[in-house]
Amino acid sequence: MSTTTASGGGPLAALIRYYDRLREDSKSGIAEYGFSQEKVHFAIVLETDGSFVALEDVRETNEKGKPIFRPLIVPDGGGRSGTSVQPNFCWDNTGYALGRDNKGKPARSKELFEAFRDLHLSFRDELEGDKGFAAVCSFLEAWKPAQAEKLPNWEDAAGMNVVFKLRGKPGYVHQSAVVRKAWLKRATTSKADAVEEKDNEPPQRGFSLISGQVDELARLHPLIGGVAGANTMGAAIVSFNLDAFESYGKSQSYNAPVSVQEAFRYTTALNRLLSDDSHRERIGDATVVFWTDSPAAEETCLWFKSLLAGAPQATEDAQTVDQLRNFLQATRDGRLSDVSDPQAPFYILGLSPNASRLNVRFWLVATVQQFVDRLLRHDRELEIVGREGEPPLSIRRILWETAREPKDIPPQLAGEVARSIFGGWPYPQFLFNAIVRRIRADSELNPRRAAVIKAFLIRNSQLEVPVSLDPQHTDQAYQLGRLFAALEKTQEDSTDGKLNATIKDRYFSAAGATPASVFPLLLKLHRHHLAKLDPPGRRINREKLMTEIMSNIRHFPAFMSLEKQGLFYIAYYHQRQEFFTKKETTSQETNNE
Amino acid sequence: MAKGIRLHVWAEYALFSRPEMKVERVSYDVITPSAARGVIEAIHWKPAIRWRINRIHVLNEIRFTSLRRNEVASKIPRANVAKAMKAGRGALAQFIEEDRQQRAATILRDVAYVIEASFDIVDPQDHPGKHLDQFNRRARAGNCFHRPYLGTREFPCHFALIEPDEELPTSFYTKESSRDLGWMLHDIDFVADEKGGVIASHNDQRFRAEPRFFRATLKHGVIDVPALTPEEVVA
């Protein structure tokens, strides 16, 4: 905490820093202003004179061997809505580029093609020197849409996005520096014109609250896609879609002055994070993205992901778990710098949908080291006997223990749990209440539930809770939990487990909440159970254990607080585990003999 | 300057909306100068004085939580009001049941600040000592014009005057040399503008609301707030 933390300015500023980092990395392939990444399937190959050569399949293949789109940076068309005719520059679907698609409306396709052709011809003089673009223009002038259907691979290509290229030349037409420059010039001026025409409002210049520079301000921000549950068209973090949100006589996003360039940069960076499986995960109703300012800390993202959601797929399991183990081991040994850049800022942004708007559910900034420390602390608090060798408890698994089925988990809870773990803050009280309620409802105390209760008691109530059985534990609640486990075990043993309803089914929750009203009865029952226990050696052992536990109990409280009930459950769980491990060792011994 | 005061404020929740996320609200990390001014003015303000916030001490660790609320979706149009006034009748009601919007907010919790403020006298005839005494007397007694709040009315705060010889509570961030909080809203400045969207109620004069921002840096738990002048804050 003594070092300088350079992290301020909120999520937008951090996203812009991420964009700038990717821009510097030539391999990242992030789009520049005026361009966007789109899904391209085919390329129209032309001769220099514009004659058509072929429709080349440029698709990639996925793991299953199926062809999928190739992501390419192309001139940004700004998105189309409804039935408007709005061609893209140097790329589009075949309806625009070739005048035919798979929608069966030739008249409409013809209209689209003409718009596409006219747009390109309007650039003709400006781009005379560019061979590729000249070829595209000649091609568009000569092309008859009906020819499209005769192409050999038309079935596959109909309706898909296409780009243009020259035969035998590397790269695509839109990638030429001259074409890019001409497009950018047009894009910036025409956008300003469009705004002016539509609203009679010239583009405003002003202070941008992210950079602190005076610049042209964005009236509307580009949409963000890929947040689960939001509009499929995309939604916005910064949007003023109702007039009650506006103030001081300002309209739309002028209420939140952000420059056009910055709006582009943060949305591009965020869209990229949201579409990248290694930087995104879902917790409850929130879609969480995480990233770092340092390329050296990239691996931390993987680690994060597996802690959020558990191992992704069975096939990747072994590898991910291995990576995770290495990472964990390195951090435990204090060798975090071997695998990562410990001082690099790390960001966690949780977005949840609210109709066409997005809501920042949580936003956390710290260094990689700080987050790793918090996660390790959480992991340590969860440590409990009986979970050895199992993968780390992901947030998703924890949440599953709070409800009967995943859809019953309150969406708010997921975010709060994530926030408490990442921030190193107390766990939400509701998490504890929900788990205790589940235990009461189904009398099931599995290792995961015990682990969560333990972590909660340690972090929120500062109670001392051991990992495994501590017979000397001074708390009454703890000894009562042990006592209950012992009573139940005697009943089980005396009846060979052939009971419909055990004392646990009947009295478990009552014993934890109001011990005074239950234990005297249970102790009376116990005498009967004990009498039936044979051989006598077992009976003596059990009596010894009972005496030991009872010697630690001074009285049965009439009522126990929720916290103490938690401790009661943990003790019960510990004692049960103890019985099991003992049994295993003895049976092993007999096998060896 | 003997005109300075120090006020300790604290509350369970607070929300200082970032302008870029004021629809689905997200709070700034710490109290803004304009919110601090609001707290001070709730205790004592007269047209003769103008408060300025000098320093803000951040006492507690910055922590967030989130909630959702139902709010109204639209404003009653000004034109409707003008029409109703002219005609002497008309419907100006808004029905929350028909015009609801759910909005989420990421808010701060368990906050505590010390606000250091001073004031300028607008009317040269007036005496500063009078206002200073008045503020101190009122703050000491817990008097206020309206309940002071941290950012939004839903989050009222407690306050206590820190006497001149009294020591300040320690900050969670004392050991942290510097933390950049980015550009933060300082206050709204009203500039006379014929086409402006803000109208003074008494004389129909029009203003343009200009938000002013400053670069906030938390140094050892303290933010030095620049004066609201063009040299130090940007519009």
> Per-residue confidence at B92, pLDDT binned at 50, 70, 90?
confident
Per-chain mean pLDDT for chain A: 81
Number of CB pairs, chain A paired with chain B, less than 8 A apart: 136
**CA A562, CA A512: separation in Å to the nearest integer?**
9
| Encoded amino acid at A286, one letter | A
Instruction: Give the pLDDT mean for A263-269.
Output: 90
Tell whether A429 lies on the interface with B, counting CB pairs under 8 A.
Answer: no
Q: Bridge-partner residues for B26, per DSSP?
A: B106
Tell whether A238 lies on the interface with B, counting CB pairs under 8 A.
Answer: yes
Q: Residue A9 and residue B197: Cβ atoms within 8 Å?
A: no
Instruction: Give the pLDDT mean for A281-303.
Output: 82
> Per-residue confidence at A589, pLDDT binned at 50, 70, 90?
very low
**CA A51, CA A121: separation in Å to the nearest integer?**
16
List the 4-43 stretch of A: residues with Cβ below 8 A of B: 4-13
Counting residues of chain A whose pLDDT is more than 70, the rounded percentage is 88
A415 interaction partners in chain B (CB closer than 8 Å):
66
Closest among A556, A496, A570 to A522, alpha carbons compared: A556
User: Looking at residue B126, what DSSP letter applies?
Assistant: S
pLDDT tens for each residue of A102-144: 877 888 888 888 888 888 888 888 887 888 888 888 888 888 8
CA A133 to chain centre: 42
User: Out of A241, A242, A359, whose CB is closest to B104?
Assistant: A359
Residue in A closest to B75 by C-alpha: A244
Q: Bridge-partner residues for A287, per DSSP?
A: A282, A351
pLDDT at B156 over 90: yes
Counting residues of chain B whose pLDDT is more than 70, the rounded percentage is 96
- Is the bond preceding A535 in cis, omega lying within 30 degrees of 0? yes
Cβ-defined contacts of A403-406 (< 8 Å, 24+):
A403/A434, A403/A438, A404/A438, A404/A441
**CA A16, CA A475: separation in Å to the nearest integer?**
53
pLDDT at A532 over 90: no
The segment with the largest mean pLDDT, out of A188-197, A221-230, A495-504, A513-522, is A513-522
List the 377-396 stretch of A: residues with Cβ below 8 A of B: none
**CA A340, CA A368: separation in Å to the nearest integer?**
8
> Per-residue confidence at A86, pLDDT binned at 50, 70, 90?
confident
Burial of A563 per CB tally in 10 Å (0-12, 13-18, 19+)? middle
pLDDT tens for each residue of A151-163: 888 888 888 889 9
User: Out of B28, B64, B101, whose CB is closest to A419?
Assistant: B64
A223 with A233: CB under 8 angstroms?
Answer: yes
Q: What integer pLDDT is reported at residue A101 of this predicted model? A: 82
A248 interaction partners in chain B (CB closer than 8 Å):
188, 197-198, 209
Q: Residue A1 and residue B63: Cβ atoms within 8 Å?
A: no
Residue A373: CB atoms within 10 A of its CB come to: 16
pLDDT at A68 over 90: no
Counting residues of chain B whose pLDDT is more than 90, the rounded percentage is 51
Q: What integer pLDDT is reported at residue A153 of this predicted model? A: 84
Tell whether A237 lies on the interface with B, counting CB pairs under 8 A.
Answer: yes
Question: Distances from the Cα of A296 to the Cαs of A337, A339, A342, A530, B54, in angstroms?
Answer: 9, 8, 9, 63, 41
Q: What integer pLDDT is reported at residue B91 of this predicted model? A: 82
Tell whether A411 lies on the interface with B, counting CB pairs under 8 A.
Answer: no
Q: Residue A12 and residue B106: Cβ atoms within 8 Å?
A: no
Q: What integer pLDDT is reported at residue A313 of this predicted model? A: 46
Minimum mean pLDDT range among A126-140, A213-227, A301-315: A301-315
Could you tell me the two tokens for B210? 């200009």
User: Out of A8, A206, A244, whose CB is closest to B73?
Assistant: A244
> Per-residue confidence at A583, pLDDT binned at 50, 70, 90?
low
Tell whether A293 lies on the interface with B, counting CB pairs under 8 A.
Answer: no
Of the two residues B140 and A55, the one the predictor is more confident about is B140
Instruction: Give the pLDDT mean for A446-471.
Output: 89
CA torsion, ordered B211, B217, B218, B223, to nearest 10 deg? -50
Q: What integer pLDDT is reported at residue A81 of this predicted model? A: 63
pLDDT at A520 over 70: yes
pLDDT tens for each residue of B25-69: 999 999 999 999 999 999 999 988 999 999 999 999 998 888 888
A277 with A317: CB under 8 angstroms?
Answer: no
How close is the nearest chain B Cα to the Cα of A219, in Å?
12
Tell whether A416 lies on the interface with B, counting CB pairs under 8 A.
Answer: yes
Q: CA geometry: angle at A502 spanning A499 and A503, to 5°? A: 150
Residue in B closest to A218 by C-alpha: B20
pLDDT at A303 over 50: yes
> Per-residue confidence at A6, pLDDT binned at 50, 70, 90?
very low
Q: What integer pLDDT is reported at residue A588 of this predicted model? A: 44
| Encoded amino acid at A574, one letter | H
**CA A449, CA A453: separation in Å to the nearest integer?**
6
pLDDT tens for each residue of B224-233: 999 887 655 6
